[in-house]
Amino acid sequence: MKKQTLLGAIALTTIAIGAAGAANAQQYTVTVSADADLTAATVKAATKLATELKLDATNTKGVLGLAVVPSVGAILPGGNSLLTFSLTGGTTFGTNVTPGAIVLNTGGCNPTTTISSGGLAASSSVTFLLSGLGLCNNGSPIIAQLPVQLPLTGTNSLSVDTQFKTELGTAIDGGSASLAAPAVTFAQAFKATTAADTAATAATLANGFKSLTEPLLGTVTLAVTAATVSGIDAVGIADAAVIGDVTKADFKFVGTQSATAAQLTLAEGVNPAADVAVTGLISDASPTAVAYTVGTKANGAAISASTYTVQTDLTLAAPYVASATFGPSSLQSITREGTTYLIPWVSSGTLANSTGNATVVRIANIGTATSGAVSAELLTSSTGTPASTSLVALSSGITKGGELVITGASLETSFGANFGRGDVRITAEAQPATLITRRFIQNVANGSLTEVSLGRDATGSEPQN
């Protein structure tokens, strides 16, 4: 009697698989399912967990709803079949899998189920022995809810591989399938994106670099990635990340600023701008998902050329990690109009007379008109002479085809002090392409000249002219 039943099952299985195969290239699929019969499932659609989430044993444990969907026209065997689910990405079963993980589909699919192998808690694969699949089809798939536990470290995606075959090993409806996309992935929930302003911001020559051509340096935009959640448990799935989870934003600026020259400002959305402390730190205790505009204001003194960066630190509420850091990221720089040279190791006239080597800088005008004024600033001094607080005029301009020769002695006269050995910034109100500038060391005794590196321009590069 038992032998006859087994032969009958084998015959039916062979017929069913043959019918399915006749349709050519038939293939079942596996999907994350929100079927109403999967009442215990917490993951019913592709889910994004926040990478900032502090993972624990609760928010990483849930129930994954799946549907194994036969191809259209497939006839599944009524006899015994083996259906295997394998979890990927380091995910394991949160509890022992029971036969009840295969759920009655009120559409008709209701196989008899036992565990063939696997399925223990902390394992990642289970094989079900199914019979009575005659009412399972494309419109009424096999549905399952599997207890899953994500790893407590890392951000590996959770996907599922399946195999479907008879007890004799014959493939059913294609034999194997995987989720087309992971059931659970990780994504950064909170973001601070910095964009440098594209319009040049320059201190103007006309009034001694005391005003700016344009005040904006850039923006910092806070945002939350849509549909990132705080867990795969029922509570976590319902708790999407929102900007309210950011309890404070600290903006940390690096760059030259002062209360007397150029001072940074920060405006939240359309709100009025607030001054940034000269320390470079400004905080928002109630941040919003808007663009914060970084600007500058002139306070009356000469404005120096400078680069600027901003680092944004977000303080996050539980269940997220304590903070998230973005940057430092570059903002627009402040430059100075005209041509600026940073010349190191300049000897004063007094020092040149004692060492026998003098500094000579020659600037020639190859432009089509007289240049604007040429000025200098003392930046450092070996004798303790204070640095310049404003531009010191050297010339009202260089005539077309003319030259200006600057020496350590002439600089000492202009600065009004023996600065010894120092670094000097020279600014000419003319475009770089209209000037040829060279620096020499002159032997005081015989007048011979040796060309040396000029130094750096305002961008930090050695001028090429």
Q: In the chain, where are the structural domains located?
A: 2-186, 189-336, 339-457
The pLDDT of 10-16, averaged and rounded, is 39
Residue 153's pLDDT is 94
- Cα atoms in the 13 Å half-sphere on the side-chain side of 128: 26
Position 453 pLDDT exceeds 90: no
Asked if the domains 2-186 and 189-336 are classified in one and the same CATH topology, the answer is yes
Position 17 pLDDT exceeds 90: no
Residues 62-86: pLDDT tens digits? 999 999 999 999 999 989 999 999 9
Exposure b/e, 124-136, CB count within 10 A at least 16 = b: bbbbbbbbbbbeb
* Nearest one of 100, 83, 255, 260 to 165, comparing CA atoms: 83
- How many residues does this entry show for the chain? 465
> pLDDT-derived band of residue 431, with 50, 70 and 90 as boundaries?
confident
Measured CA to CA, the distance from residue 145 to residue 160 in angstroms comes to: 12
Residues 84-114: pLDDT tens digits? 999 999 999 999 999 999 999 999 999 999 9
Beta-carbon contacts of residue 41 (< 8 Å; ≥ 6 apart)? 33, 34, 63, 64, 65, 145
The pLDDT of 444-450, averaged and rounded, is 92
In CATH, the architecture of 189-336 is Sandwich (2.60)
Task: For the domain covering 2-186, report its CATH number.
Answer: 2.60.40.290
Q: What is the mean pLDDT of the chain?
A: 91
Q: Which two tokens stand for residue 14?
A: 């062979």
Position 461 pLDDT exceeds 70: no
Position 269 pLDDT exceeds 90: yes
| Apex 360 CA angle, 414 and 438, nearest 5 | 120
The continuous run of DSSP H or E covering 235 comes out as: helix 234-238
In percent, the amount of the chain with pLDDT more than 70 equals 92
> pLDDT-derived band of residue 456, with 50, 70 and 90 as boundaries?
low
CB atoms inside a 10 Å sphere around CB 189: 27
Residues 26-45: pLDDT tens digits? 899 999 999 999 999 999 99
Task: For the domain covering 339-457, report its CATH number.
Answer: 2.60.290
Task: Report the 3 state secondary structure along 254-278.
Answer: ECCCCCCCEEEEEEECCCCCEECCC
Residues 304-344: pLDDT tens digits? 888 899 999 999 999 999 899 999 999 999 988 888 898 99
Measured CA to CA, the distance from residue 400 to residue 398 in angstroms comes to: 7
Residues 360-415: pLDDT tens digits? 999 999 999 898 889 999 999 999 999 987 789 999 999 999 999 999 999 999 99
Position 11 pLDDT exceeds 50: no
CB atoms inside a 10 Å sphere around CB 194: 21
Q: Are 164 and 171 in contact (CB under 8 A)?
A: yes
* Nearest one of 218, 220, 223 to 191, comparing CA atoms: 223
| Tokens 């996050």 -> residue | 316
